[in-house]
Chains A and B, each alone.
Chain A
Amino acid sequence: MATLNSGVPQGDLKEKWTQYKDSINLVNPANKRNIDVIVVGTGLAGGSASATLAELGYNVKTFCYQDSPRRAHSIAAQGGINAAKNYQGDGDSTYRLFYDTIKGGDYRSREANVYRLAEVSTNIIDQCVAQGVPFARDYGGLLDNRSFGGVLVSRTFYAKGQTGQQLLLGAYSAMNRQIARGKIQMHNRHEMLDVVIVDGKARGIIARNLITGEIERHSAHAVVIASGGYGNVYFLSTNAMGSNATAAWKIHKKGAFFANPCYTQIHPTCIPRSGEYQSKLTLMSESLRNDGRIWVPKRMEDVEALREGTLKATEIAEENRDYYLERRYPAFGNLVPRDVASRAAKERCDAGYGVNKTGEAVYLDFSSAITRYGKEQVLLQGEDPNDHNLIKKMGQEIVKSKYGNLFQMYEKIVDENPYENPMMIYPAVHYTMGGIWVDYNLMTTVPGLYAIGEANFSDHGSNRLGASALMQGLADGYFVLPYTIGDYLSDDIRTGTISTDSTEFEEAEKNVKELLKKLVENKGKHSVDYYHKKLGNIMWDKCGMSRNETGLNEAISEIKELRADFWKNVMVPGGLNELNKELEKAGRVADFLELGELFAKDALTRNESCGGHFREEYATKEGEAKRDDKKFNFVSAWEYKGEPSEAKLHKEKLEFENIEVKERSYK
């Protein structure tokens, strides 16, 4: 039986990580050559971990389902990466980043992990610049910063709206260097379908070659899961189409506890849905809230006219606009954290003020910023300060240089020019703070099995701040795991190569093959997407931006029914031994159908509101989330017991010794 011991070292918060690194066991370079590590996933966490572990000398075997490690969905992260560099001299510090992250997470994350994250954040920027990542710079040639939600400093480093791409290509290049040296064995187009546990330790995985369909055994002394989050349980999300929870869910079924599954981030600024055929939702970066102002009309007649198409947004007078974030949260304004901004948008739309035909959209307006930048440019260049057309033109140029690619994306999708008309946006599922439970070493409840990046739960509590996912992924992969894994592997220097001929590998392979065979031989009447969309609807309606007891109970029974129907009636065309995209999807949806139920169960158990988890029964008079620190100041870690409904709850109590726990306010 696994137990919950976070293993946070003793001592002063500020010294913990340094002292801990000094005291843990190391593996000597010669012995590292005899140790194999498997990494599943090549996003920022998996890519950086693979590269660093290989550089340290371990033999790394890395897996991704895409055709190249460079495609992992970290590539789509737009706005930026936080680091407590204080280059702007605006009062930033490690403590402040730590404080903002804990508060932003609504006091539901582990203090020691978050402090360590803040501490290594500065190394990340140094590291990435050394790798040739082209961050944005100012005219003096130094690095530029911008501001993100939930903070009062500018600590976000960026590369236009493609920061994730540049950082991931940095990690990919570091991987390539090690692949060329033979230190990373790269397995593209492979999907992990189970973990193999030998004598209580993770010793390998079963993977499917997605081109040939072959089921392969791979052994190692430790296994690292870096497969991202489970946002696609909602079908529609900003995740990639292939993003899935299979690796995480399979290890959960083999003994890794799953923590806080109900903590999901619904991102406030995404392009609204357009129709039934919709396959995914597209994010518009939070960085846009640096310059964009969010509003809906004050008067219902304007809303109606907008929907009928008889009125344009630009025709609505300033005094008839409700800049509801600025109104409700004067201190943070448009840069409140994501959970707060999303709920506020929902509140206005539920009240009937949504500005598009579906009633699910609000405006994100750049006209003030365009005028502000334009005036500055006109003055700088000695032009006529009363020439409104010139001001607009020059302002638009500045906005384009900051957010050009995002504006282009918007225009291509919506077919409207966001420089002229305000963008229409609505919240969408974006990130999952919940994930595999890990200790201070990032090890799960199974010895030798690690989870890093979005796949684990530890750093963001119940709400993640913008630009912190990139920071966490790279912190885990470059700077944390490579140290902590050595402590475990130091016991394995005499083990030798792990054989794949054991009964444990045989058993795991047999189970995987049977499951796949069942799927292709089922020959039912509904496609995989049919089930995925149904699951998504249940999740969005009943486990979405706000939840209540009745809805969650309904969700649990509906998901159960849907799962039974899936196994009876799903249709997977094609065969086992070929490229079969429907089969890939089927396996992933089968896992989502279990995870969704645990998600609802977790949400039902947590009788409080915190961060992204908003229970209608637990709200303040102003409609803000109301925590219950007496009863729920813990991490919910679920142990698999055969069915999601039978999962057993373990609690890790959260201790806050260096921060005052209080009501989270952005007013």
Chain B
Amino acid sequence: MNLTLKIWRQKSNTEKGSLETYPISDVSEDMSFLEMLDVLNEELIEKAIDPVAFDHDCREGICGMCSLYINGEAHGPDRRVTTCQLHMRKFNDGDTIFIEPFRANAFPVVKDLVVDRSAFDRIQQAGGYVSVNTSGNTQDANSIPIPKDDADTAFDAATCIGCGACVASCKNSSAMLFVSAKVSQFSLLPQGQVEAKERVINMVNKMDEEGFGNCTNTGACEVECPKGISLDNISRMNREFITANVKK
């Protein structure tokens, strides 16, 4: 199929960006979206035009490095996939596709479609861990049975890949889904209980400090999340946050 791409080009964080138009032809529907961009970049290199910079790594939907806001949706029109798993069969011959970076105050553009998501790391550093030494002097793994349902729900929360689609999809650029996924994982497991109060307070404070917006319960994040992280996590975090503050 033949397509028209409108791609955000921005030389660096300090320069202004704009949408540029690139036609591309003979796109196979079995290509992934990023393979389509690879083909475009090869053509640009041949014409001595600077190729489009975009983040990507594992190309199997798990590393969370790829981003892209495609036709107004984080990771594009398909559901429960990252951009690297989006295939061109979701588009039609003659389509015009708008490709932009994830936009949020807390995610400054680095170049073209690449953004800086290090705010996510800093939130995790504020409390996204269990303070246990890693030198191996722990008790046997089966000494504390964990109900299967709790373990499964904790796992579901823990599958967040930290891509930032929730923030990009939210009109307030809120990071509540991301933060609540980690808070939930630990609040559901006995190992996470000891520091539960400090954790939720520190992580939420850090989130606010990094410039993410407030949650107004639109639910857009859950819809666009490639891993289907549930809004229940946000409720759980709110509960944890309120109790932690009351008990303080």
Q: Does A412 contact B (CB under 8 A)?
A: yes
| Residue in A56, A126, A139 whose CB lies within 8 Å of B140 | A126
The interface residues of chain B lying within 8 Å CB-to-CB of A162 are 62, 159
Q: Is B120's CB under 8 angstroms from A141's CB?
A: no
Given contacts A134-B155, A277-B28, contact A127 B134 (CB under 8 A): yes
Would you call B213 an interface residue if the criterion is a C-beta within 8 Å of the partner chain's C-beta atoms? Answer: no
Q: Are A67 and B130 in contact (CB under 8 A)?
A: no
The answer to whether A174 and B129 have CB atoms under 8 Å apart is yes
Chain A positions 166-188 with a Cβ under 8 Å from a chain B Cβ: 166, 169, 172-174, 176-177, 179-180, 186, 188
Report the separation of the CA atoms of residues A206 and B129 in the bound assembly, to the nearest whole angstrom: 31
Q: Which residues of A contact B118 (CB under 8 A)?
A: 67-68, 188
* Chain B 138-171 near chain A by CB (<8 Å), digits 1 or 0: 1111101111100110110011011000000000
Q: Does B233 contact A (CB under 8 A)?
A: no
- Among A140, A160, A279, which residue has the most Cβ atoms of chain B within 10 A? A279
B contacts with A: majority SS: loop
Docked-complex contact A282 and B50, CB < 8 angstroms: no
Q: Is the CB of A129 within 8 A of B185?
A: no
CB distance A130 to B138 under 8 Å?
yes
Q: For A85, list chain B residues within 8 Å (CB).
A: 141
The answer to whether B65 touches A578 (Cβ under 8 A) is no
Q: Is the CB of B56 within 8 A of A241?
A: yes
- Which of B89, B120, B136 interacts with A415 by CB under 8 Å? B89
A55 at the interface (CB under 8 A from B): yes
- Which one, B38-46, B94-102, B172-180, B215-223, is touching chain A? B38-46
* Given A123-B136, A126-B136, A180-B126; A277-B35 close (CB under 8 Å): yes
- Is B104 in contact with chain A by the CB < 8 A criterion? no
Q: What separation, in Å, do the CA atoms of A24 and B152 have in the docked complex?
A: 43
Closest B residue to A527 by beta carbon equals B45
A552 at the interface (CB under 8 A from B): no
> CB within 8 A of B128: which of A165, A173, A277?
A173
Q: Is the CB of B147 within 8 A of A75?
A: no
- The contact string, 1 if C-beta is below 8 Å from chain A, for chain B 63-94, is 11100000000000010110001010100000
Asked if A317 is an interface residue, CB under 8 A from chain B, the answer is: no
Of the candidates A55, A71, A571, the one whose C-beta lies within 8 Å of that of B45 is A571
Selected contact of B141 from candidates A126, A408, A527, CB within 8 Å = A126
Whether the Cβ atoms of A67 and B85 lie closer than 8 Å is: no
A177 and chain B: residue at smallest CB distance: B129
CA distance A130 to B146 in the complex (A): 12
Q: Is the CB of A240 within 8 A of B131?
A: no
Q: Is the CB of A132 within 8 A of B151?
A: no
Q: Are B141 and A166 in contact (CB under 8 A)?
A: no
Q: Closest B-chain residue to A239, C-beta based? A: B58
Contact pattern, B 16-45, Cβ under 8 Å of A = 1, otherwise 0: 000000000000101110111011001011
A413 to B49, CA, bound (A): 31
Q: Are B135 and A55 in contact (CB under 8 A)?
A: yes
The answer to whether A39 has its CB under 8 Å from any CB of chain B is no
Would A139 and B136 count as touching, CB distance under 8 A?
no
Q: Please, how many angstroms separate the alpha-carbon atoms of A123 and B161 in the complex?
A: 26
> Would you call B46 and A131 a contact (CB within 8 A)?
no
| Min C-beta distance of A49 to chain B, whole Å | 10
A-chain residues with CB within 8 Å of residue B162 when the two chains form the complex:
68, 70
Judged by a CB distance under 8 angstroms, whether B232 is at the interface is no
- Give the complex CA separation of A409 and B136 in angstroms: 35
- Give the B interface residue count (CB, 8 A): 80
Contact indicator A573/B45 (Cβ below 8 Å): yes
Tell me if B246 counts as interface (CB < 8 A to partner A): no
Asked whether A73 lies within 8 Å of B63 as measured between CB atoms, the reply is yes
CA distance A69 to B124 in the complex (A): 12
- A579 proximal to B (CB < 8 A): yes
How far apart sit A120 and B152, CA to CA, in the bound complex (Å)?
27
**CA distance in complex: A398, B91 (Å):** 33
Residues A76 and B62 in contact, CB atoms below 8 Å apart: yes
Contact in complex: A279, B35 (CB < 8 Å): yes
> B60: nearest residue on chain A (CB-CB)?
A282
> A71: which of B57, B141, B189 is its contact (CB, 8 Å)?
B57
Q: How far is the CA of A275 from the CA of B144 in the complex (A)?
A: 50
Say which residue of B30, B45, B135, B189 sits within 8 Å of A132 (CB atoms): B189
For the complex, give the distance between the alpha carbons of A452 and B138 in Å: 23
Bound together, the chains give a CA A51 to CA B133 distance in angstroms of 9
What CA separation (Å) do A73 and B53 show in the bound complex? 20
A574: which of B50, B57, B130 is its contact (CB, 8 Å)? B50
Determine whether A280 belongs to the interface, using a CB cutoff of 8 Å to chain B: yes
**Quick check: is A482 within 8 A (CB to CB) of the other chain?**
yes
Taken together as a complex, chains A and B put the C-alpha atoms of A412 and B33 apart, in Å, by 12
Q: Which residues of B pack against A, CB within 8 Å?
A: 11-12, 28, 30-32, 34-36, 38-39, 42, 44-46, 48-51, 53, 55-65, 78, 80-81, 85, 87, 89, 110-111, 114, 116-118, 120-121, 124-126, 128-136, 138-142, 144-148, 151-152, 154-155, 158-159, 161-162, 185-186, 189, 191-192
* Subset of 14 A-B contacts with CB under 8 Å: A68-B121, A85-B141, A129-B141, A132-B185, A136-B151, A141-B148, A173-B130, A177-B131, A274-B30, A279-B35, A412-B87, A571-B45, A579-B12, A579-B111
Apart from the given pairs A70-B162, A275-B31, 19 other A-B contacts in the complex at a CB distance below 8 Å? A68-B120, A70-B64, A76-B58, A126-B139, A130-B139, A134-B154, A134-B158, A134-B189, A136-B151, A159-B158, A173-B128, A174-B134, A177-B131, A188-B121, A240-B59, A242-B57, A415-B89, A478-B136, A527-B46
* For the complex of A and B, 10 pairs with smallest distance between CB atoms: A141-B145, A173-B129, A134-B155, A130-B138, A129-B141, A134-B154, A123-B136, A180-B125, A240-B57, A137-B151
